[in-house]
């Protein structure tokens, strides 16, 4: 194909979406930009989704269906990582099997990439028939300019399907397959450490569906959400600590501390590893303060003084973790 029409790989993980994925694939067929391939990875569905996808792939060989192989862990992250292996495009778009692209979705992204020297572009998503105030606040942070510090300290964010990434960057990093929540934060934290050469496009080109069974429609308890957020922060620290600045590393650890402080009765993993990292990054007194905070907070609902010791140590770096 000519250089002005590079191949775009659309990677879609799916699980039991036979009743919805047809609309998603129809929205891909309706794209004004036609040089694409769609790599669909089934994460062990028990419905008839393979038959649904075969109806599309039989008529258009740009649709490619794969079951997730056993060497990748169950979940969307394993499916996405396998999809990355199979993707042949010059650019990568991640998408979900229950959402819709506007007809100009790929055209908008590819035109922005071809008319610039950026490594990825970010556009906007809205929910079916409505705007999401939270999403608009999220995009406010992106408008200020992308930096690794702002993104990883959660002062800016975007959704998985908002982005289109050059192949060499997308394939150089992996989704953490141990995560079941916060995986986008983890993946994009690795991306912004490799490049912040990006463009933000003020245009809605994805429609996100909320339905029975979607993550947003079946939110778990507050404590479960907080434990998931903590786990995402901790594993992101582990994944990027060799590349990240001291500010970023300490900010992630402080975020873990703040979450634990707010949920004293919750069972958090990686406690010993977190304590060891705090001793290493902050020093002895902040490390001892974390252990004291954990003890007093869990047993007596107290520990504010020890939390402040850690917060002050972190503030010396110039970055305060987002609460």
* Residue where one domain finishes, among candidates 217, 237, 260: 217
pLDDT tens, residue by residue, 180-227: 899 999 999 999 999 999 999 999 999 998 755 554 444 568 889 999
Structural domain boundaries, residue 41: 8-217
**Separation between Cα atoms, residue 321 and residue 176, nearest integer Å:** 22
Whether residues 47 and 32 fall in one domain = yes
- Please, are residues 75 and 215 in contact by the beta-carbon 8 Å criterion? no
pLDDT tens, residue by residue, 251-297: 999 999 999 999 998 999 999 999 999 999 999 999 999 999 999 99
Whether residues 289 and 153 fall in one domain = no
**Separation between Cα atoms, residue 124 and residue 158, nearest integer Å:** 8
> What b-and-e string marks burial along 35-55, b requiring 16 or more CB atoms within 10 Å of the CB?
bbbbbbbbbebeeebeebbee
Whether residues 285 and 202 fall in one domain = no
Whether residues 134 and 242 fall in one domain = no
Total tally of structural domains belonging to the chain: 2
* Residue where one domain finishes, among candidates 198, 217, 236: 217
Q: Which of 216, 107, 213, 236 is nearest to 159 (CA)?
A: 216
- In angstroms, what CA-CA distances link 313 with 61, 271, 276, 277? 57, 20, 16, 14
Tell the burial category of 23 from Cβ atoms under 10 Å away from its Cβ (0-12, 13-18, 19+): middle
To the nearest 10 degrees (0 to 180), the angle between helices 246-262 and 271-282 is 140
Whether residues 24 and 140 fall in one domain = yes
pLDDT tens, residue by residue, 148-167: 999 999 999 999 999 999 99
**Separation between Cα atoms, residue 262 and residue 254, nearest integer Å:** 12
Residues 6+ apart with CB under 8 A from 174: 81, 84, 187
pLDDT tens, residue by residue, 51-65: 999 999 999 999 999
* Residue where one domain finishes, among candidates 162, 193, 217: 217
To the nearest 10 degrees (0 to 180), the angle between helices 246-262 and 222-240 is 160
Whether residues 125 and 137 fall in one domain = yes
Whether residues 290 and 167 fall in one domain = no
């Amino acid at each position: 194909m000519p250089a002005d029409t590079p191949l775009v790989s659309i990677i879609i993980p799916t699980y039991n979406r036979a009743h919805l994925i047809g609309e998603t694939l129809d929205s891909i067929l309706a794209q004004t930009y036609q040089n694409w391939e769609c790599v669909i990875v089934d994460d062990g569905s028990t419905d008839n989704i393979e038959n649904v996808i075969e109806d599309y792939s039989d008529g258009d060989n740009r649709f490619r269906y794969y079951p997730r192989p056993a060497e990748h862990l169950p979940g969307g992250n394993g499916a996405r990582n396998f999809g990355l292996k199979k993707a042949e495009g010059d650019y990568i778009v991640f998408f979900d099997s229950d959402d819709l692209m506007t007809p100009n979705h790929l055209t908008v992204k590819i035109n922005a990439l071809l008319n610039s020297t950026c490594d990825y572009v970010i556009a906007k998503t809205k929910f079916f028939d409505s705007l999401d105030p939270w999403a608009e606040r999220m995009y406010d942070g992106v408008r200020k300019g992308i930096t690794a510090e702002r993104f990883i300290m959660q002062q800016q964010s975007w959704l998985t399907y908002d982005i289109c990434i050059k192949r060499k960057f997308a394939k150089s990093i992996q989704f953490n397959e141990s995560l079941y929540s916060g995986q986008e934060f983890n993946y994009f934290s690795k991306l912004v450490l490799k490049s912040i050469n990006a463009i933000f496009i003020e245009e809605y080109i994805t429609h996100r569906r909320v339905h029975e069974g979607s993550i947003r429609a079946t939110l778990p308890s507050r404590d479960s959400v907080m434990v998931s957020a903590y786990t995402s922060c901790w594993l992101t620290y582990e994944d990027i600590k060799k590349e990240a600045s001291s500010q970023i590393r300490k900010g992630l650890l402080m975020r873990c501390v703040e979450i634990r402080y707010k949920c004293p009765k919750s069972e958090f993993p990686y406690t010993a590893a977190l304590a060891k990292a705090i001793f290493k990054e902050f020093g002895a007194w902040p490390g001892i303060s974390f252990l004291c905070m954990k003890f007093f907070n869990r047993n007596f609902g107290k520990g504010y003084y020890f939390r402040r010791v850690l917060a002050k140590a972190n503030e010396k770096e110039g970055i305060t973790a987002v609460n």
